Structure 1
Amino acid sequence: MVDRLLAIGDIHGCLTALELLLEKVQPTSRDQVIVLGDIVSRGLDTRGCIELLMELQTRVPLLCLMGNHEEFMLDARDDDIACGSWLYFGGEETLLSYDPEYAEARIENVLETHWEFIESFPDYYETEHEIFVHGMVDPDLPLTEQDTNEFRWRKFEDVRPHISGKQVICGHTSQKSGLPLNLQHSICIDTNACRGGWLTCLDVTGEVAHQTSEAGEYRMLDMNTIVED
């Protein structure tokens, strides 16, 4: 039995927001932290974010899920065409974070330990009452019968409860309002951190959301006050 079940939305290289979020939330060895994918790309310090999470994982039960941007990055490693596309969609910022002089975006600069860390990410995490995933799930199929692309690419649109009855907590679909989209049976916590919004940590147990920004701001939300029909 964990004290807190903590889900962190799309980080996208926003190290300042991530550092402040962890400072405010203070996860411990009695908590379970789930990072919902898209740690990489777009923001300026993917390398720093990965290193921070790898260090945190040595002290705290922490699981990172596979996002579409991690999948994109893995594909880019061995495919020049995929690499070209990835560079356009945030990969350049990722690679520049691995160059000490911020001078050249070379995929060879990514550390092997970081590749191994990303390769270890599962598609989803399931508890007795929740499903955690980056994208979304097909509401009509058990998780084991789904096309795994859904877990990384499906948008938070026309959302219905999953047949398991479990609450689905996801990222991927950016909420320009900066607020989590709370349908109760499903919650999206990608709150646009890399584009002037907020990085969200949902305390599922306490029904609150902690949010930080790249500008160094912090706020806490009562999830019961932002429920949508």
Structure 2
Amino acid sequence: MSRTLVIGDIHGGFKALEQVLNRADVTKDDKLIFLGDYVDGWSETPDLLSYLIQLKEEQDCVFIRGNHDDLVLGWFRTAKSNPKWLEHGGESTLKAYQNINSILKDLHRLFLENLTNYYVDEKNRLFLHAGFANMHGPASEFHSNTVYWDRTLWEMVLAMDTSIHPDDDFYPDRLKLFKEIYIGHTPTTRINKTEPVNLANVWNIDTGAAFKGPISILDIDTKNYWQSDPVYKLYPNESGRNQN
């Protein structure tokens, strides 16, 4: 029986992605929705992007754009790097591409160019990297990059009174737009969790792969989930984005 599986932030951790796909017994019948941030962190970004390009040929995949993916795309296009990007994972990407030929770089650039900003399925479930601020939904955002940079959606559900019901007058309008909302971007390790976290109708699948956490896969229908080992343990000679 086919499943719809959502995958959190990866940050160049190809070994960990292979591990969690194996643990989830992913088959070609499963639909895979990746929430972005494929790059910046661990050393295998080129291998990871090549794998994802091939995976797209073999099964139904949705690839969402993350903020780090957009930063790397900017570097591919201009060959310019800003200090903030380098500080937050870009240095590992620069090193990883030192010996990669231009043909493969162009293939990876095209992949990043063709990522989607968000996806809504037939059951009105929204998938995006970060969040949205517009009360009419992500399609109405004035700046398209909001959907892969915004943290206010997650901050809102973190601060919500858990007793508020969707029918209550004070229930946030943003949350009423979709049956469920799946995000990454803000690691759950910030609230001392290393598993997917559900608040209101928002599911955060970024379990801190860039730092000390694992990569997570969630079945959106059953809510079963699988995880890799903490990614840093698979790259013992690397530091990832930092040691948080």
User: 2:202 aligns to what?
Assistant: 186
More helix by proportion, 1 or 2?
Answer: 2
The answer as to 2:180 corresponding to 1:167 is: yes
Structure 1 residue aligned with 2:112: 118
Partner of 1:149: 145
Aligned to 1:20: 19
Looking at structure 1, the residues matched to 3 and 22 of structure 2 have their Cα atoms a distance apart, in angstroms, of 16
Query: Partners of 1:82 and 1:142 in 2: how far apart?
Result: 32
Q: CA deviation at 1:142?
A: 2.9
Contact residue 41 and residue 94 of structure 1 kept, 8 A: yes
With normalisation by structure 2, the TM-score equals: 0.78
Q: Deviations over 1:74-106 (max 9, x none)?
A: 222344654444223211201222234xxxxx9
Unaligned runs of 5+ in 2: 158-171, 235-244
| Matched residue type, 1:143 | P
Q: Distance in 1 between matches of 2:78 and 2:52?
A: 27
Map of 1:133 onto structure 2:
128
Deviating more after overlay: 108-117 vs 190-199: 108-117
Change (3 A) 1:24 1:196: same
Q: Which amino acid aligns with 1:137?
A: F
Q: Which residue of 210, 213, 224 maps to 2:226? A: 210
Matches of 1:186 and 1:151, distance apart in 2: 14
Distance 2:139 2:185 in 1: 21
CA distance in 1, matches of 2:75, 2:216: 28
Give percent identity, aligned residues only.
29
- The answer on whether the counterparts of 2:134 and 2:141 sit within 8 Å (CA) in structure 1 is no
Query: Matched residues in 2 for 1:165 and 1:35: separation?
Result: 19
CA RMSD of aligned residues (A): 2.3
Cα deviation, residue 199, structure 1: 0.5
Residue range with higher mean Cα deviation, 11-20 or 143-152 = 143-152
Give the drift of 1:112. 0.6
Task: Name the SS for the 1:169 alignment partner.
Answer: strand
8 Å CA contact 1:142–1:163 kept in 2: the answer is no
Instruction: Assess if the C-alpha contact under 8 Å between 1:9 and 1:189 holds in 2.
Output: yes
